[in-house]
Amino acid sequence: MIRPLANLLVTGGAGFIGSAFIRRVLAAQPAMKIVDLDVLTYAGNLDNLADVDPARHVFVRGDIADGALIERLVDEHRIDTIVHFAAESHVDRSIHGPAEFIQTNVLGTMRLLDVVRARPSVHFHHISTDEVYGSLPLGEGVFTEATPYQPNSPYAASKAASDHLVRAWARTYKLSVTTSHASNNYGPYQFPEKLIPLMIANCIEGKPLPVYGDGKNVRDWLHVDDHADAVWEILQRGASGEVYDVGGGNEWANLDLVHCLCDQFAAARGEPASKYRGLITFVTDRPGHDLRYAIAGDKIADQLGWRPKYDFETGLRATIDWYLANPTWIARVKTGAYREWITKHYGA
């Protein structure tokens, strides 16, 4: 069955992954228009969507916890599908301030589900993370859709809670839902707080490259465009009630990744790698730091035929080149100049 997708509401479409999804879908589907609801936190940036046709991108600044607003948008735009990306998404921030994670990731998701509860013809796709499964030992085992939940950070716990709400609302109120758990994404337009864009931004500025602990923690890296394509496949052909894990098949220990990034950055600038490797600084480990994430990915490959297309080293080099070519973007998201623009256009 191919699900008819006519009128999409995307939440969090000004963020890193949501904006990649919108850019890709609008480029591939010339007849489609997308309503994008985003409150524009520090991580939301309309520059990410500067290249899309404004007539086909209906941007609404608002909070997913505002049930009345969501009801109005769904009814006014005859929404048939909600793709829910909006979240507080950074583990380190969740350690310092968990409350916003519960507010947006848990309560916000519930508000959206309640709107769908009253409109059960709307399909709801929930974007989740592999971090809900907890941590794997080095070199042993992979996450599958059947792996029990063992979230270890406030971020992961808030995403796990939202996953449970999606499942429970679907079972109890007979809603049409799908959920995907992706591994660590990378690519252009990622806020420079996550590992890869932070390291690139610090290379550009000649600042230390902070590696937590001994740098042996492993992540599975997925290019954001591969993720966007996987979500599109699930929306179209994913069975209602099903959960799909989406991995990059690219496991890297953090220190190896940072070495590779330094070497590629140096090559892009025609400089010696030692200049950037010399910036690596080992810093105090993150509390509760998950050791390893890895995704099997068999279900989405077998059932929907989706596999990641990006080779990691090529994708990383293209990402470095993008950041080098876009210093204004980095400056705007880092200095707060963009916040002033938001206040001017939308109020505080």
The footprint of ligand NAD (CB under 6 A) covers 11-12, 14-18, 37-41, 43-44, 63-65, 85-89, 104, 108, 127, 129, 159, 182, 184-185, 191
Nearest approach, Cβ of residue 271 and ligand NAD (Å):
29
- Judged by CB under 6 A, the number of residues near ligand TYD is 12
Least distance to ligand NAD from the beta carbon of 20, Å?
8
Ramachandran assignment for 251, one of left (phi > 0), alpha (psi -120 to 50 degrees), beta (any other): beta
Q: Name which of ligand TYD, ligand NAD, none residue 18 binds, using a CB cut-off of 5 to 8 Å depending on partner kind.
A: ligand NAD
Closest of 47, 44, 51 to residue 24, by C-alpha: 51
Cβ atoms of 219 and 249 within 8 Å: the answer is no
Partner in contact with 220, chosen from ligand TYD, ligand NAD, none, beta carbon below 5 to 8 Å by kind: none
Among the listed residues 38, 131, 163, 290, the single catalytic one is 131
- DSSP SS3 for 208: coil
Residue 224 is a binding residue for ligand TYD (CB under 6 A): no
Q: Residue 37: which of 80, 76, 70, 71 has the closest Cα?
A: 70
**212 touches ligand TYD by CB under 6 A:** yes
Task: Please name every residue paired with 123 in a beta bridge, in sequence order, or none if there are none.
Answer: 81, 176
CB of 57 to ligand NAD, least distance (A): 14
Tokens at residue 17, please? 């992954």
Q: Which entry of 133, 155, 189, 244 is annotated as an active-site residue? A: 155
Instruction: Kindly state the tokens that stand for 31.
Output: 């007849």
Residues numbered 255-294 forming contacts with ligand TYD, rule: CB under 6 A: 286
Q: N- to C-terminal Cα distance for the chain?
A: 45
| Helix-then-strand count for the chain, H and E | 14, 12
Rounded Cα gap, residues 120 and 256, in angstroms: 47
Give the nearest distance from C-beta 298 to ligand NAD in angstroms: 19
- Return the one option of ligand NAD, ligand TYD, none that residue 162 interacts with (CB less than 5 to 8 A, by type): none
Q: Select the binding partner of residue 238 from ligand TYD, ligand NAD, none (C-beta < 5 to 8 A, by kind).
A: none
Q: Which of 36, 63, 80, 130 is catalytic?
A: 130
Q: Say if CB 54 and CB 24 are below 8 A apart.
A: no
Catalytic residue annotation: 130-131, 155
